[in-house]
């Protein structure tokens, strides 16, 4: 059940304070139940995704009212070498030749943009095992952050900066170079517990590769194998506390593979699980959750029938969150 809380109320739930070795961070002030909308806020600095480049970021910043410019300039800044080279190519100037303020604006954009920059959310640190899921709510025009598990008071709130295919520790660390830190979260820490968790993450990475491959082969046998992989992934994710978007994807895969294999009853069961995760990750009022709830209802009706399924179900089966194509397979339904 999601509790719709806007960021104007967020001060009751969360606080921004120093986080050991990570600069500032966001912490739970009280126990926060799973599904709580912890933050819901409009962009502070927004740049259209279309033709987005350094110049557009700078123009958007200059168009902000002064108080917002000040808020933006107080955020954490970091520019990785690769980012600087990209900017040089875009603006046709060496990084050092770019005016200091512009360099600062761009160096703040780089580590803080969750698609756009959000004032409060820009203080959330990374974990490979996050307790928040973020997503854009197109009707509210807000970025929302939901608790994916029950979060005890005093805990730091985290998101995953990377993904969706997280890979092993080395691959994750390679991606995190763009933020300029070495991750020491519960999965990355060099302890026996961290190593055990890392083993499971590595296993998930290999299972995902297997799932994509089997789905590509697109025979009844390979779909059955892919289904068993998706089920295995979901079981590992649940037991490891990987409860965010990744778990939704595993349930989604299991559901649509059951559909392709003609098992509407099991497809409906998996879709219900997918819906439950989507709702606590993005809120029941998110358009994608409303659509998914409709798919679950339609699947429920389709369970006892041999009639061709509704177009919404076909659309749901085609949606892929991984690098594979299931479209052709839908003729099997
Ligand atoms: C979006 S900001 C997060 C808020 C930031 N800590 C601050 O003080 O404003 C991203 C930056 O936070 C730091 N950071 C985030 N997650 C971290 C982690 N798990 N360990 C160490 N530093 C982290 C890095 O410096 C990164 O570039």
**What is 271-310 written as a DSSP string?**
HHHHHHHHHHHH-TTSHHHHHHHHHHHHHHHHTT--SPPP
Give the percent of the chain with pLDDT over 70. 93
Ligand 1, residues 156, 173, 180, 181: which to mutate, most atoms within 8 A of Cβ? 181
Helix, strand or coil for residue 237? helix
User: DSSP readout, 102-113?
Assistant: HHHHHHHHHHHE
Span 268-297, mean pLDDT?
97
Q: Which tokens go with 88? A: 């040089």
Cα–ligand 1 centroid distance for 125 (angstroms): 5
Cα–ligand 1 centroid distance for 30 (angstroms): 22
pLDDT number for residue 322: 72
Q: How many whole angstroms separate alpha carbon 41 and alpha carbon 143?
A: 6
Q: Which tokens go with 157? A: 């709130």
Q: Which residues pair with 134 in a beta bridge?
A: 145
Cα–ligand 1 centroid distance for 215 (angstroms): 37
pLDDT digits (tens, 9 = 90+) for 220-261: 999 999 999 999 999 999 999 999 999 999 999 999 999 999
24 CA: nearest ligand 1 atom: 8
User: DSSP readout, 200-235?
Assistant: HHHHHHHHHHHHHHHHHH-SHHHHHHHHHHHHHHHH
Determine contact, residues 24/16, Cβ cutoff 8 Å.
yes
Q: Which tokens go with 73? A: 């300039």
pLDDT number for residue 323: 54
Q: How many whole angstroms separate alpha carbon 78 and alpha carbon 61?
A: 17
Please tell me if the CB atom of residue 172 comes closer than 6 angstroms to any atom of ligand 1: no
pTM over cut 0.90: yes
Q: Which helix (H) or strand (E) holds 15?
A: strand 14-19
CB neighbourhood size of 238 (10 A): 15
Cα–ligand 1 centroid distance for 12 (angstroms): 23
Whether ipTM exceeds 0.95? yes
Instruction: Return the closest-CA partner of residue 257 out of 246, 242, 267, 248.
Output: 267
Q: How many whole angstroms separate alpha carbon 270 and alpha carbon 251?
A: 6
Please tell me if the CB atom of residue 126 comes closer than 6 angstroms to any atom of ligand 1: yes
Cα–ligand 1 centroid distance for 24 (angstroms): 7
- Measure Cα distances from 329 to 101, 256, 285, 296, 318 in Å: 53, 10, 31, 20, 9
112 CA: nearest ligand 1 atom: 1
Exposed e or buried b per residue across 283-311, where buried means at least 16 C-beta atoms within 10 angstroms of its C-beta:
beebebbebbbebbebbeebeeeeeebbe
Confidence of residue 15 (pLDDT cuts 50, 70, 90): very high
Please tell me if the CB atom of residue 17 comes closer than 6 angstroms to any atom of ligand 1: no
Cα–ligand 1 centroid distance for 329 (angstroms): 43
Helix, strand or coil for residue 133? strand
Span 130-138, mean pLDDT?
97
């Amino acid at each position: 059940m999601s509790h719709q809380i806007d960021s104007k109320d967020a001060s009751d739930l969360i606080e921004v304070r120093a986080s050991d070795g990570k600069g500032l961070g966001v912490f739970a002030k009280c126990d926060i139940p799973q599904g709580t909308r912890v933050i819901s806020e409009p962009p502070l600095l927004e740049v259209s995704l279309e033709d987005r480049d350094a110049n557009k970021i700078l123009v958007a910043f200059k168009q902000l009212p002064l108080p917002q410019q000040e808020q933006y300039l107080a955020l954490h800044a970091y520019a990785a070498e690769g980012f600087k080279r990209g900017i040089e190519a875009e603006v046709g100037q060496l990084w050092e030749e770019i005016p200091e303020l512009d360099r600062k604006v761009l160096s703040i954009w780089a580590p803080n943009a969750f698609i756009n920059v959000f004032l409060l959310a820009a203080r959330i640190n990374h974990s490979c095992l996050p307790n928040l899921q973020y997503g854009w709510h197109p009707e509210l025009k807000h970025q929302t952050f939901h608790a994916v598990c029950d979060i005890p008071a005093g805990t730091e709130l985290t998101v995953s900066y990377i993904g969706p295919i997280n890979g092993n520790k080395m691959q994750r660390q390679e991606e995190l170079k763009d933020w300029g830190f070495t991750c020491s979260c519960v999965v990355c820490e060099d302890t026996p517990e961290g190593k055990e968790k890392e083993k499971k993450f590595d296993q998930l990475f290999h299972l995902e590769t297997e799932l994509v491959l089997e789905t590509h082969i697109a025979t009844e046998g390979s779909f059955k194998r892919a289904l068993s992989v998706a089920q295995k992934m979901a079981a590992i994710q649940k037991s490891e506390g990987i409860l965010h978007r990744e778990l939704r994807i595993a349930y989604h895969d299991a559901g649509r593979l059951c559909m392709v294999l003609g098992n509407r009853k099991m497809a409906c069961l998996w879709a219900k699980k997918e819906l439950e995760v989507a709702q606590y990750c993005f809120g029941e009022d998110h358009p994608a959750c409303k659509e998914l709830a409709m798919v679950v209802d339609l699947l429920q009706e389709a369970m006892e029938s041999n009639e061709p399924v509704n177009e919404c179900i076909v659309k749901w089966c085609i949606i892929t969150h991984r690098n594979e194509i299931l479209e052709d397979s839908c003729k099997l339904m």
